[in-house]
């Protein structure tokens, strides 16, 4: 139970195979989509490659298999992919989307105890599934993320239709625009110094208070992109960035301007006048100019074309992140992934995620609070455990201490995103451990979309310093 809750909390709060020169058969297990599967012929590890009976693993993966005894050839088919292997031959072929690739295997398929065994990693990955090895559990882990995504897609469509519509919307990228953005981050930690638990998270963090306020404006026309950003630090962060003992002064309030065009990158910042090591460069208020071709950078037009050619929808990005995990697979991976697939519809159903329409404008809103979060934990607990979590004293303390809200608003006009606001606040007030607060706010808007009257002044040569001059001075 606690392991499952741990997986859930971590989601919401943002040894390779042993090499041997002989076949091992002792206690190697295979887990497919969270279930341990058995085979008539035991899995084998030969020279570091894990083998499984071909027919059994292919059929369990939902494919079909044909074996030609005369040539000892195995042909596997699944979802338009055709894989061809031959016993005692390291050369294999994979045909997918009309393209044929020949691949040299580390170890060739083998016949053992009358069964044809194939390398599980090669075959599984050829069939678009993921394979891992849990050394501690001595288990080969195979997950078909396509099935996970297919299940999630069906659930979102039926249980979170507004969110599903949002995910499937392909928003246009403007050719030109003006935009404004403000965001702030604030944090404060006040541990209970009289707590008997000196190893609590709050005690280890200590007393903290600080944050940032950031304001920025951006403009883009057919030739240039300009970003003007001001960053102000608060609390302990401000004190640190003004600590002359560390050689810092005035860095708690800085301005940075960045301008791109087809030929050059320009940077202007008061940092050049506030950092001792940079003052000697005598940059002052001038722009530092970089030649894009020499710096191997993309021009504004190239960036615009790349953005416009990217027709990825939010749902594509979500499903791609699920299908391509960044961590090694273990025996717990499928359960945690499946739990995430359950959590999304529960949190993003129409009670929390809504859409309204007025003329050519759509407004999407998301509202999640601590009550939603607590209900989610309770529902997951009751589904996966006979334990009544509401009788757990630690959970009840956690429930009383947590206050949380996450509010998002996205405005879309004529298929262009014109505004976005985020307001997130987390309060944890524990009599035992102390208090912690984290706040985040964002407000952004876009205007003059596709206007041909946006003007961006490129610095004159008299207002610039070539980056090569600074390089010669050691920058």
Q: What is the Cα–Cα distance from 307 to 449, expressed in whole angstroms? A: 15
* 227 and 109 share one domain: no
State both tokens at 195: 């707590």
Provide the domain count of the chain.
2
Q: What is the Cα–Cα distance from 253 to 237, expressed in whole angstroms? A: 11
Beta-ladder partners of 181: 216, 444
Residue 415, burial from CB neighbour count under 10 angstroms (0-12, 13-18, 19+): exposed
- Domain CATH code at residue 138: 3.30.457.10
Q: Residue 473: its pLDDT value, please?
A: 62
Phi (first) and psi of residue 283, to 5 degrees: -75, -40
- Looking at every residue in the chain, the average pLDDT score rounds to 86
* 187 and 42 share one domain: no
Phi (first) and psi of residue 72, to 5 degrees: 55, 40
Final residue belonging to a domain, choices 143, 176, 191: 143
* 172 and 138 share one domain: no
Is 155 part of any domain?
A: no
Q: Tell me which residue of 404, 405, 402 sits closest to 433, measured CA to CA.
A: 402
Cβ(116)–Cβ(55) below 8 Å: yes
Q: Which domain holds residue 136?
A: 2-143
* 94 and 32 share one domain: yes
Is 148 part of any domain?
A: no
Helices 333-347/370-384 angle, 10° precision: 140
Other CB atoms within 10 A of residue 70 CB: 5
* 245 and 124 share one domain: no
* 235 and 138 share one domain: no
State both tokens at 388: 């009544």
Q: Residue 7: its pLDDT value, please?
A: 44
Final residue belonging to a domain, choices 143, 178, 203: 143
* 121 and 231 share one domain: no
Is 231 part of any domain?
A: yes
Is 157 part of any domain?
A: no
Cβ(85)–Cβ(74) below 8 Å: yes
* 275 and 384 share one domain: yes
* 173 and 132 share one domain: no
* 359 and 252 share one domain: yes
Q: What is the Cα–Cα distance from 155 to 34, expressed in whole angstroms? A: 19
* 269 and 209 share one domain: yes
**Alpha-carbon distances of 416 from 66, 117, 176, 217, 412, rounded to whole Å:** 51, 54, 12, 18, 5
Q: What is the mean pLDDT of each run of 10 residues along the chain (475 residues)?
A: 45 35 59 91 89 92 93 94 95 93 94 92 92 92 92 93 90 90 95 72 80 96 93 93 78 94 90 78 86 66 66 84 89 89 89 94 95 90 81 89 95 94 95 90 96 93 86 63
* 258 and 355 share one domain: yes
Is 152 part of any domain?
A: no
Is 226 part of any domain?
A: yes
Is 159 part of any domain?
A: no
Q: Which alpha helices (DSSP H) does 160-289 contain, by range?
A: 161-167, 201-205, 235-240, 271-274, 276-279
Q: What is the Cα–Cα distance from 437 to 337, expressed in whole angstroms? A: 29
Is 54 part of any domain?
A: yes
């Amino acid at each position: 139970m606690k392991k499952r809750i741990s997986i859930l909390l971590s989601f919401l709060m943002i040894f390779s195979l042993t090499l041997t020169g002989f076949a091992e058969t002792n206690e190697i297990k295979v887990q497919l989509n969270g279930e341990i599967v058995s085979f008539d012929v035991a899995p084998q590890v030969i020279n570091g490659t894990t083998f499984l009976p071909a027919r059994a693993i292919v059929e369990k993966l939902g494919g079909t298999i044909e074996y030609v005894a005369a040539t000892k050839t195995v042909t596997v088919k699944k979802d338009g992919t055709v894989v061809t292997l031959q016993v005692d031959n390291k050369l294999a072929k994979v045909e997918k989307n009309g393209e044929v690739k020949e691949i040299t295997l580390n170890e060739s398929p083998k016949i053992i105890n009358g069964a044809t065994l194939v390398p599980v990693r090669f075959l599984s990955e050829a069939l678009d599934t993921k394979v891992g090895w849990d050394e501690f559990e001595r288990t080969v882990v195979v997950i078909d993320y396509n099935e996970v995504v297919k299940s999630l897609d069906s659930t979102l469509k039926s249980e979170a239709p507004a969110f599903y519509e949002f995910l499937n919307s392909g928003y246009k990228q403007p050719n030109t625009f003006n935009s404004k953005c403000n965001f702030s981050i604030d944090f404060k930690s006040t541990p209970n110094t009289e707590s008997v638990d000196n190893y609590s998270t709050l005690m280890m963090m200590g007393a903290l208070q600080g944050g940032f306020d950031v304001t920025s404006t951006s403009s883009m026309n057919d030739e240039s992109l300009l970003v003007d950003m001001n960053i102000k630090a608060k609390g302990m962060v401000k004190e640190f960035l003004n600590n002359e003992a560390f050689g810092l002064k005035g860095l708690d309030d800085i301005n940075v301007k960045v301008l791109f065009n087809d030929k050059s990158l320009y940077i202007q910042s008061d940092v050049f006048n506030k950092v001792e090591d940079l003052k000697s460069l005598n940059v002052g208020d001038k722009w530092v100019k970089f030649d894009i071709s020499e710096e191997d950078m993309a021009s504004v037009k190239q960036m615009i074309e790349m953005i416009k050619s990217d027709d990825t929808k939010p749902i594509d990005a979500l499903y791609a992140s699920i299908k391509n995990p960044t961590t090694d697979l273990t025996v717990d991976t499928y359960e945690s992934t499946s739990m995430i697939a359950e959590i999304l519809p529960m949190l993003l159903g129409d009670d929390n995620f809504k859409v309204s329409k007025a003329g050519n404008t759509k407004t999407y809103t998301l509202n999640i609070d601590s009550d939603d979060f607590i209900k989610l934990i309770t529902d997951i607990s009751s589904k996966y455990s006979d334990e009544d979590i509401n009788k757990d004293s630690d959970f009840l303390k956690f429930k009383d201490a947590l206050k949380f809200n996450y509010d998002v608003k996205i405005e879309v006009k004529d298929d262009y995103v014109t505004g976005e606001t985020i307001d997130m606040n987390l309060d944890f007030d524990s009599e035992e451990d102390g208090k912690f607060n984290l706040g985040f706010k964002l407000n952004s808007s876009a205007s003059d979309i596709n206007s041909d009257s946006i003007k961006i002044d490129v610095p004159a040569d008299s207002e610039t310093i070539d980056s090569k001059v600074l390089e010669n001075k050691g920058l």
